[in-house]
Each structure stands twice: as structure tokens, then as C-alpha cells.
Amino acid sequence: MSNASHSPKGGSAKTDTMTRRSILTTAAGLGAAAVAGPAAAQAAQASDEFTGKTAFVTGGARGIGYACAEALARGGANIVLFDIAEQIPEVPYPLASEADLASAKSKIDALGVGCIAIQGDVRDGAAQQAAVDRALAEFGSLDFAIANAGITQIGPLASFTDAEMSLVLDINLKGVIKTVQAVTPAMQEQNSGRIVLMSSVTGRTGSPNFPIYSASKWGVIGIAKSTAMALGQSNVICNAVCPTLVHTGLLDNSYILSNIVPGQTLTFEQFNEAAKSRHMLPVGLYEPSRVGDCVRFLCSESSAMISGDVVDIGAGANAQFPA
């Protein structure tokens, strides 16, 4: 499935998107100023920091991927949502659907920016490259890449078959590598770009419950650091982000709840209470928007000197790590 915002004959998608964004922002600014004065108008203007830029987001139909896309769209960026949007038979919990991808596009469209929704598999490097090429053709640049698509599995290390291990590594690690490969030429040609790779707290510590997932997320950190070194002279920044326990479909499902504690099935409320004990701050599973906010910061000028780093979104859990 592929949906795009199209421009009238004689115009361009990029020009029309910027015009629409300008109209909506002006209206919002005027309305806010009428209610709350000049400070509100300044706040509305500040939301245009990414106007004219484009973000490519994998796994963008829901959860953390959608939250990242929305955060960047609220800053004015055009968005390319890339998501498999169908069930992989070997994954034992529900993945995003075509309806989720269509809903995500509709919500991004409502923010007044351009949005392309593409159904595709990150294991397919050619499909990712085609999506990047389409973004460049329709929006004129590729400024941000958020490699977020991933799956999980739970169980002791000895329990996984070769096929099960390959599935996680092919999506979580090789899929991320293929995203970086797809966006690198355009960013090098532009001499600018931001790449954010979605790792995990399990990419910073071991995990007896998620050993293959953990290994894949450690690998993502290695790719982030290697990419930052390789592309730094092209003014391309790359970082990894490590959330802890986020309230998404990846964790809130019967597969996880029935296996997270051997021999016991938890309710979501019990899982949430356990998450609170993991965090130093008084929160359980937090909302994906918290990750989106961090990714928006890493794409902003405020983070221009941060590259090759690992940013924990741990609600204080990372206070337990070695310095």
C-alpha cells in the first residue's frame, strides 16, 4: 500500500506543503495570540523549526515510530512512514496493520505537513531505497532518518531456533543497517542529516528474558557509533536512543504478559506496577510521546554537537549503570 499527498498540476508537493503549513501556522498563531498574547504567538512560531525538512521513519504506523513521526511533524517536517503493516506469521503478537498505517497518515496529514505512507519490510533493502528515492522526488530532501522498526521475543537463550534468531536479527539489526545504507548517499550529497537508531535499555544491559532482542539492540548501538564516525565529515549526525519500558503493542500483549514471569500470567496493571519498581522516577510504562520528544531534540539544532552517543530514556533506571 502506498499513499501520498499530491500537488495540483503545475505545483510541487514541497511548495504546496509549505504553503499549507504556513496558512495553518499563521491561523494557529493568530488564534493563540488573541487568547494568550504575544508569548503564545512566539510558541506557535517555534513549532516551525523543521519546516521544509523531511523525515523517514521505519515502523511508523504506531507506537514509538508514530510518536517520533508526530513529534517531527509538529515541528513542521514532512513525513515518510515506512511500515510492514501486516502480520509476520512467526511473530507471536499483533503487529501494525494497514488500518494503523492509514490512520497514522491521516493524523500526520491533519498537522498540515506532507506525508507519504509506504507499506514495506525493512528486511528489503531495495524497498527502503525506493522509499527514500520517493521522498527525495516528492519533498526535495531527506534530513532525518529514524530507524525504529523492530520486533521482540521472550524466553531463555537455549529455547530459540535458528529461524527465530534470524528473524529478530534480520529485522532489528540488519533492517537498521539497511536503513542507514538507504539514507546515507542523499545525506552525504546534502552534506547534512540526522540519523536516530532505536536501541533499548537491553542494548545497555544483559537480559535473560530477551537475549536475542538484547543482542540485536547492542548491535544497533555499534552501528550508531560506526555511522557517526563514518559520516561525521559529511556533517551527518547519528545517535542511538535507549528507552526502557514503553506502553506500546510490543509489550502490552498476551504473549509478553503470559511469559514475562515464568509460570504466571500478569495483567497489564501488574506489569505496570513491576515497571515502577524498575524506574527511579514514579512511573510505570510511559507513553511513546516521551521517546518522540527525545528524538525531536536529537534532530534539532540544540543537539548539533551530539553524535555517536547513546541517549537513555530510562526514567532514572540508567542511574544504576556504571558511569
Active site members: 213
Find all residues with CB under 8 Å of 280, minimum gap 6, and list them. 315, 316, 317, 319
CA dihedral 111, 114, 117, 120 (to 10 degrees): -130
DSSP character string of 196-224: EEE--GGGTS--SSSHHHHHHHHHHHHHH
Copy the grid coordinates of residue 299.
Answer: 534532530
Copy the grid coordinates of residue 23.
Answer: 496558512
Residue 126's CB is within 10 A of a number of other CB atoms, namely: 10
Copy the grid coordinates of residue 264.
Answer: 504466571
Number of helices (H), then strands (E), belonging to the chain: the values are: 11, 8
Distance from first CA to last CA of the chain, Å, rounded? 46
* Closest to 295 in 3D by CA, of 237, 249, 251: 237
- Torsion angles phi and psi, residue 132, rounded to 5: -65, -45
What letter represents residue 134's amino acid? R
* Closest to 260 in 3D by CA, of 155, 158, 187: 155
CA distance 214 to 209: 9
**DSSP code, position 123:** T
